[in-house]
Structure formats: structure tokens, C-alpha cells
Amino acid sequence: MKKPALSFLVITGLLLTVSFRNISITTRPSPGHLAANTHNSSDTVLFPEEKHFKNIQQLTFGGDNAEAYWSYDSKFLIFQRNNPKEGVNCDQIFIGKVPQKPGDKFEYKMVSNGKGRTTCSFFTKDSKHIIYASTYLGADTCPPVPDRSKYGNKYIWALYPDFDIFMADLNGKIIKQLTHSKGYDAEGTLSPDGTKMIYTSVKGGDIDLYIMDLKTGKEKQITNTLGYDGGAWFSPDGKKIIWRASRPKTEAEIKEYKDLLAENLVAPINMEIFVANADGTNAHQVTHFGQANWAPAFFPDSKRIIFASNHEYERGFPFNLYSINEDGTNLQKITHEKIFDAFPMFSPSGKKLVFCSNRNNGDAHGINIFIADWVE
């Protein structure tokens, strides 16, 4: 959903390349491992400066858990997870009921079919169905990750051509295939009324955003500027969309982008946050920070924005959460430790925030899911 998602594999690739300037966490490769010099300075679920969080709770323990998103009724979370120790060798989709009181265990089950790689999941309006992207029609096995040594060891994300978006029930039964184009289709999320899906596709020759009417199947391409456009969301009032984008400018950047795209690959560089009207008009850039600004979502007021970024750190790590106004003013830092925080999403009521982090992991590898009451 928020499309490709960021996973720790992304972080690993970024850390291995000191000059890395990107992260693709919306498609979601699976969260990888942090380099030795990025381990947590302490084990805790809440750091002193994090004044916006109250009653924070860690929901998962172990494995790589990312892109956790609320159901419309706020009762469930859907997320992607991998853990080779449990036989889940590449990302699969899981759902779990949100604990109602402190001490309640977060119990979850896999709802994807366990075949291929999955990514970008989201609940439908009735909270009885889900959408997600999968490569399973191409092969039952996990598709190979790109060999980064061929590209100067910079982080490369695969646009697996077998990715298509499906709708399933909560028992995992696929009831409908939503996309059928040749090439990558993923990163789908739904409008507040549940009638439209915004997603990323290469069907037009570039990596662009499309909006599909779920009832009729009719769709419209809403971005057409060279560069990667993905991880898009509708605003809570349904009037706007927000996404992350790369915009290669120089001749060398454009050549690299096109050469990689021809191989079904992308290396998002200098991703920034963009906003537009829900029909794609009045598109404008919100951030101008450089490096990786991604995983954006609107606050419940449909005006402010929450996002993840590494722009304060030249070496590309850590990643913290920030808020900003749509006009690019009033930047505020929400999380403050030298760790990885990303994938924020407010509950439909606006009272809670879910996010993913490698805090409180005992210096182990992987990321987990956290929820907290939001304090203004």
C-alpha cells in the first residue's frame, strides 16, 4: 500500500552504500538488517523527546514487520511480514486484531497464500476484504533480489513484472484480480469512501500513478512526469492525494533511470513528497530536503503531513518521523533517537498512530510494529 514500501533490505542497501540517497519502502522488499554502527543506543519503546506519543505498545516481536495499516473500523491492522526462522522467506500479508487494553496480546494470521512475494496491502471499506500485490501467478517461489554489485552496490529495487493487485477475503481466498497489465502493478491504497484505488504501474512506459474505480474497472493515469511515483494515499477528506517521487534532472540521472527501468529496476534518488488534488491536478512538491523523504500520509485534518526522512543525516541514517504543513512550512521532528522509524498511519478516528521501528529490539535485526495514542 502505501506502496513499495520500505523494508530493512532497503536500509541495508542504503547503509552499505555510504553515498546512498534513496529508500524504496513502499514497495516493500522485506526489512533487512542494520549495519553494526546503527544499533540502538538503548532498549525502550518510548524516548524522552517523543511528546506526541502516549500509551505506546509494541505489537510484534521478531522477524521483519512493516507497512501496518488500519482497517476502516479501526479494529484490525494489516501488514507485511517475513521471518525465515518461521519459514516465511519473503514478505507475506498478515492481519491482526488491535489490542483493546494494555496487556492484550496482538494475535495475527497470514492471509496471503504464501506463494511468491507480496506487498502493499490495504483493507476495503467493509473491513471484510483486503487488497494486496503478489507475484504468485508468475511463480510460487520468492523472486530473486537484484544483484547490487552490478550497479555500484547502490540500493536497487526490483519492479517485478509478475506483481499484480488482488482482492481477497479475510480467510485469504482471492475473489478478484484487479490489475492485469504486463509489468509491475503494486502499491495500492483506497479512497476514504472505498470506491477508488490509487496504485503504481509501469504500463505507460514510466513508473506512474493510476486511479481505478473498483466497481467499473475504469482508470485514469494521474502522473506523467519522468521519475518514480509511488506510495500514494488519499487524504481523509478524499479531496487530495499524497505520494513520494523521484525526479531525475541531469542527463546522467535520466540515463541511469531509463537504463534501470529497461531492466525492471529502479533506484529512487532524492525522493520528495508531492501533493495534488484527487484527480491529479495542481500537483506540487512539498519537501525540498534531498535524500529520502517518503512514506507520507495526511493527518486527520487533511492539511498536515506526517512522513519519514533521513534528510538530517548525510550518511543516510537514522530515519525519523516528521510533520509538515502542505505548503512546506512548520517542519517538526516527531521521533528523535538514532534508529529507524517509518510507515506512520493515523487511525480513522485520528486518536492513534501506528508505525514501524527497530526500537526495543535488543540490537537484534528486524523491525516491529508499534501503536500509540496521539497527543497534540
- Mean pLDDT value across the chain: 88
Domain-wise residue ranges, the chain? 8-374
Q: Is-cis flag, bond preceding 318, omega within 30?
A: yes
pLDDT at 82 over 80: yes
Model confidence at 102, in pLDDT bands (50, 70, 90)? confident
pLDDT at 300 over 80: yes
Q: Is the separation of the CB atoms in 231 and 295 below 8 Å?
A: yes
At 32 the pLDDT is 32
Closest CA to 40 of 358, 366, 369, 316: 358
At 267 the pLDDT is 87
Model confidence at 353, in pLDDT bands (50, 70, 90)? very high
At 269 the pLDDT is 66
CATH entry 1.10.3210.10 includes domain 8-374: no
pLDDT at 201 over 90: yes
Proportion of the chain above pLDDT 90, given as a percent: 79
At 26 the pLDDT is 35
121-131 per-position pLDDT tens digit? 999 999 999 99
Distance CA 17, CA 35 (A): 11
Dihedral of CA atoms 156, 161, 167, 168 in degrees, nearest 10, equals: -80
103-112 per-position pLDDT tens digit? 899 999 999 9
CB-based burial label for 273 (10 Å; 0-12, 13-18, 19+): buried
16-30, 168-182, 346-360: least confidently modelled range? 16-30
Distance CA 205, CA 187 (A): 17
203-261 per-position pLDDT tens digit? 999 999 999 999 999 999 999 999 999 999 999 999 999 999 999 999 999 999 999 99
Residues ≥6 apart with Cβ < 8 Å to 233: 2, 189, 198, 241, 242, 243, 296, 297, 298
Task: Find the angle CA(210)-CA(215)-CA(216) to the nearest 5 degrees.
Answer: 70
28-71 per-position pLDDT tens digit? 333 332 222 344 456 899 999 999 999 999 999 999 999 999 99
Contacts 24+ apart (CB under 8 A), 49-52: 49/333, 49/336, 50/334, 50/335, 50/336, 51/375, 52/334, 52/353, 52/372, 52/374, 52/375, 52/376
At 40 the pLDDT is 45
pTM (2 decimals)?
0.90
pLDDT at 339 over 70: yes
At 6 the pLDDT is 43
Model confidence at 362, in pLDDT bands (50, 70, 90)? confident
Average pLDDT over residues 169-184: 96
Name the region of 208 (left: φ>0; alpha: ψ -120 to 50; beta: rest). Answer: beta
At 42 the pLDDT is 65
Q: What are phi and psi of 204, to 5 degrees?
A: -95, 5
H/E segment holding residue 16: helix 8-16
Model confidence at 316, in pLDDT bands (50, 70, 90)? confident
Average pLDDT over residues 266-281: 91
Model confidence at 3, in pLDDT bands (50, 70, 90)? very low
Distance CA 121, CA 146 (A): 23
250-270 per-position pLDDT tens digit? 999 999 999 999 999 998 768
